[in-house]
Amino acid sequence: MTFDYDLFVIGAGPGGIAAAKQVASYGIRVAIAEQDLVGGTCVIRGCIPEKLMSFAADFSEDAQVAQGYGWKNHHMKMFDWQQFLAAKEQEIQRLSKVHTQSLQKAGVELIKGRTTFSNPHTLEVEGREMTADKILIAVGAKTVKPDIPGIEYAITAGELFNLKQQPKHIAVIGGDYIAVKLAGIMKNLGSQVTQVIQEDQILSAFDEDIRIAVTDGLRKRGLEILDKTVIKEIKRVGDELDLILSGKIHNTLSVDTVLYATERVPNITSLALEKVGVQVTQGAIVTDEYSRTTIANIFAVGDCTNQLSFTPVAIAQGRAFADTVFGNNPHTVSYEYVPSTVSSHPEAATVGLSKAQAHEKLGDSVQCYRSEFRPLLHSLPKLDEKTLIKLVVDNSSDRVLGIHMVGEGAIEIIQCLALAIRLGATKKDFDSTIGIHPSIAEEFFTLR
């Protein structure tokens, strides 16, 4: 049978773009379909705008630090929400254009529109039917809101970046890394923030010391956290939104903005996967280690699958798929030692096992080394700001199992140390490494 394309990719996000370009480099006929801006959630309404907003939030603390160093007239004026949004939007459009041009340069045909399956080899995009030998699904995930009265008044994370006015008092619902990130950012930008979580602590998937340190840092900045609390209803009262709370807190919370960052689900409902028999479990596409679905010629990568939901993971999956299926170089993606971050204030980052995970796996052979200190930058202004660093070690092998940090530079430092832990670094390796002085990173090599 002759097909229109050798590969058809559904979704021009990080995973889909990486796969399409790699496959096209092998001289294969490739098309990619996207109904939104090219770049996916990460570029449009995810990690890129979040990080840009985090950069903006960083400046709010500069005045306090600068005064301790003699800058008496150094002060920040009120944050200009509209100016930031305009600059942010300009950068997103630029990045989307860059991705579009990179696809064109690679020889990938870009098709605009929503895609649905007709059969395992046939797709329909805005009324146009086309066929492909192999199909890659890379449609990502979307944020969903709970079904409670008044939920139409709430927004999701993506909508936050396009609000016409900065919230005066925002309720951030959720306790995972996205919710914590956005809550910390909004507080530093000058909004009053109340975070509402069902659990007893934020960041339940992180090491306990990380959770405690980030919580303390947020509360020092004036952020209110209501734990063991759920929202039963949202009521519009004039310009305010009244949240009817239940659980540990039984009262009404009045805010002007409600942001839900509680759950993201694979964005697959419009694909008509039931027509072709692709297995979906708990809302996610089931794949094997080579990104193959239950239908031999259909593959899936990224947040629409049952694997880790991180942009670099989707890119790695896309490239591995391309090499395996079209490049005569079969290989898989390792999900061990994938670093994760919280670009909040304070920021945190981690790679490997938490203390609890290590104990569950290895028992009493686990030993932790930790230090909490005021970084040199904050010594002159005498700010009550602490940095936390921690190593989780297997005493029987001396191998470092987990590395955790809260404080300035955590993301960049942990990214570099992720290579060391992946290569099997031991505590002895850390002890024998000479650090750069004075620096925060050197403290990892002085833990005893």
| Catalytic residue annotation | 437
> What's the CA dihedral at 166, 167, 173, 176 to 10 degrees?
30
SS3 7: strand
Helices (H), 28-111: 40-45, 47-58, 62-68, 81-106
Q: How far apart are the first and last CA of the chain?
A: 66
Whole-number Å distance between alpha carbons of 249 and 227: 8
Cis peptide before 438 (omega within 30 of 0): yes
Contact 321, 17 (CB under 8 A): no
Whole-number Å distance between alpha carbons of 94 and 96: 5
C-alpha pair distances (Å), 161 with each of 85, 129, 266: 7, 35, 21
CB atoms within 10 A of CB 147: 6
- Among candidate residues 400, 348, 85, 375, the one with its CA nearest the CA of residue 212: 348
Give the relative orientation of helices 208-220 and 355-362 as an angle to the nearest 10 degrees: 170
Tokens linked to 374: 């005021």
